[in-house]
Structures are given as structure tokens and as C-alpha cells.
Amino acid sequence: MKRTDSLEYLKKMVSKFRDERGWKIYHNPKDLAISIIIEAAELLELFQWRTVDEIKTLLNNNEFKSKIIDEIADVMIYILSLADILAIDLGKAVEIKIRKNEKKYPADLVYGGKFRDLINKRTLT
Ligand SMILES: [Mg+2]
């Protein structure tokens, strides 16, 4: 495992960058949540008005792929920043949420096309 695979390592790196610039005073839950969405919108903008086939072709273009990587990183940086000021253990949070999702969407019930059946069943009951 590379050190950049560690959420704690990344969170510390992002916090260090923020603190070296004196930006912590601007980091509050509301503005960080807004920033996550703004960066996610920048990611979406790269796909806007393009067909699935056009995007497939563009993904072979290094400049386009680099823009996607940058925007995904921006989203992640703000997620890490929000987790930092709220003292959230992101790894634990994801693990707990996946466990909840496993119960909500049992693989044997939702695998492939069965997902639609489950949604229809829940809608009807
Ligand atoms: Mg951006």
C-alpha cells in the first residue's frame, strides 16, 4: 500500500496545506459542504453536453483525463477538509455506510436486473 492510499495521511497533508496558509478560519462546515458541491459541479461540467460515446473518446485524451483527475482531487480535498474539522474518521464512516447499504441492498436480491424488482416491490408496499 502506498502512503497516499491512507486517508489519514491525505487528511494530514490537506490540513498542513490549509494551516500553512492560515485558511483554517475560513473552514466551517457550511462553506466546506458548499465547496464540495462546487467542485463536483466543475467535474460535471467536463461531461456536460457530451454523449457517452464522446466521453469515451475524450478519455483517451490526456489533457481531458487530467482535468477529470484535478476535479476529483478537488472534491476529495474538500471532503477531507470537512472530515477534519468535524473530527470524522472517514475510513470508519465508509465502512459503516457500506454495511448499512449491504443490509438495504442485499446482493442476492438486487444483483443485476433484480434491482428494479426490489425498487418496484418497495414502491408498492
Ligand atoms: Mg476545481
Report how far ligand 1's centroid is from the alpha carbon of 39 (Å): 5
**What is the reported pLDDT for 116?**
66
Report the alpha-carbon distance of residue 81 to residue 26 in Å, rounded.
11
Co-location of 121 and 108 in the same domain: yes
Give the residue numbers spanning the domain of 114: 90-125
Co-location of 72 and 124 in the same domain: no
Co-location of 7 and 52 in the same domain: yes
- Are 81 and 27 in contact by the 8 Å Cβ rule? The answer is yes
Co-location of 101 and 72 in the same domain: no
Co-location of 50 and 14 in the same domain: yes
Statement: residue 13 has pLDDT above 70: yes
Among 49, 42, 94, smallest CA distance to 73 is for: 42
Co-location of 83 and 112 in the same domain: no
Report how far ligand 1's centroid is from the alpha carbon of 38 (Å): 8
Report how far ligand 1's centroid is from the alpha carbon of 109 (Å): 38
Report the alpha-carbon distance of residue 125 to residue 109 in Å, rounded.
16
Task: Return the sign of the alpha-carbon dihedral for residues 77, 82, 85, 90.
Answer: negative
Report how far ligand 1's centroid is from the alpha carbon of 23 (Å): 17
Kindly report the CATH number assigned to the domain that includes residue 73. 1.10.287.1080
**Segment 82-111, tens digit of pLDDT:** 999 999 999 999 999 999 999 999 988 888
Query: Rounded to two decimals, what is the model's pTM?
Result: 0.85
**What is the reported pLDDT for 70?**
98
Grid cell 408496499 — which residue? 125
Co-location of 75 and 28 in the same domain: yes
Report how far ligand 1's centroid is from the alpha carbon of 67 (Å): 9
Report the alpha-carbon distance of residue 15 to residue 33 in Å, rounded.
16
